[in-house]
Amino acid sequence: MKVSHEVPLSLLEMSKSFNDYDYCLPHLLDKYEEYEKYFRWAKENNRYIIMDNSLHELGHAYDTDRLIYWINKLQPDEFIVPDVWENMEASLQNAAEWAKIELPPHIIKVAVVQAKSFYEAAECYQKYKSLGYRKIAFSYGASYYANEFPHPTPSVATAVGRVYVVSKLYHQGVIKETDNVHLLGCAVPQEFAHYKNMPFITTIDTSNPIMAAIEGTVYEPYGLDQKPKTKIDEVIDSKFDKAQIGKVILNTKYFRTINGI
């Protein structure tokens, strides 16, 4: 698995030391010149770039015209097409429309499974493949994950619930060993240790170790019980003291150790 942690502006340079690739939030390209400058540098220096559609940060996918503008300007290696939170039909409709949109030929279009049940997730995944998507992603916070693993700690239920969903889809033959899957975010960092024997999971992104550090939390040897409350947009242009930066370094190292990456 290749890992990327989204970071505030002041940590972009540092992120080169712990990120396997760069994960781009397009709405930030329009807001911060420093953010755009970093990703122009990343492209010029052949770093692998996955561009999101900013659904998690905005509550809806970013403006289509601006997405297309930045796709053509930045030419990421992958682009996550707009999806609608826990709405399978709307997400499938978006995926069908974006399947027809011509992008630079090297860019891999990624569709995100959105569902309200395991059975919808299976249907959504299969329909994305029928639309020609070569890579498919799973969001971290879907409500139905907790139905698969009803743990009393919500963050644990969400994390292990996604493990259950992905595992069941694999064992039922919906996900093939040769498929290409991305995992979006996480509730608790230790979730990824459970994907070691799933070679189809190729990339993950999560700001979890960064946000925990900013809140003053250093990972326990097992990880965490609760998801950090801070979101990237809330601290995007903040400065951090030496103690926080030290915890960022520790958490990004512990993240890999905990998950055997």
Q: Which candidate, 97, 103, 94, places its Cα nearest to that of 60? A: 94
Distance (Å, whole) CA 90 – CA 5? 28
| Token pair of 205 as six digits | 């992104």
- Three-state DSSP at 31 gives helix
Distance, CA of 50 to CA of 52 (rounded, Å)? 7
Report residue 16 as tokens. 């080169």
Residue ranges of the domains in the chain?
2-259
The percentage of residues in the chain with a pLDDT greater than 70, rounded to a whole number, is 100
pLDDT-derived band of residue 112, with 50, 70 and 90 as boundaries?
very high
For residue 186, which of 166, 169, 209 has the smallest C-alpha distance?
209
Please state, as a whole number, how many other Cβ atoms lie within 10 Å of the Cβ of residue 130: 9
Per-residue confidence band for 127, with pLDDT thresholds at 50, 70 and 90 = very high
Tell me the percentage of the chain whose pLDDT exceeds 90. Answer: 99
Which pLDDT score, from 0 to 100, does residue 198 have?
Answer: 96
The tens digit of pLDDT for each residue in 69-81 reads: 999 999 999 999 9
**2/201 Cα distance (integer angstroms):** 9
Instruction: Count Cα atoms within 13 angstroms, Cβ side, for 160.
Output: 14
Which sign does the torsion angle of CA 58, 56, 244, 248 carry? negative
Q: How many of the other CB atoms lie within 10 Å of CB of 220?
A: 12
3-state secondary structure of 33: helix
Residues 227-258 have pLDDT tens digits of 999 999 999 999 999 999 999 999 999 999 99
CATH placement of domain 2-259: 3.20.20.105
Q: pLDDT grade, residue 13 (50/70/90)? A: very high
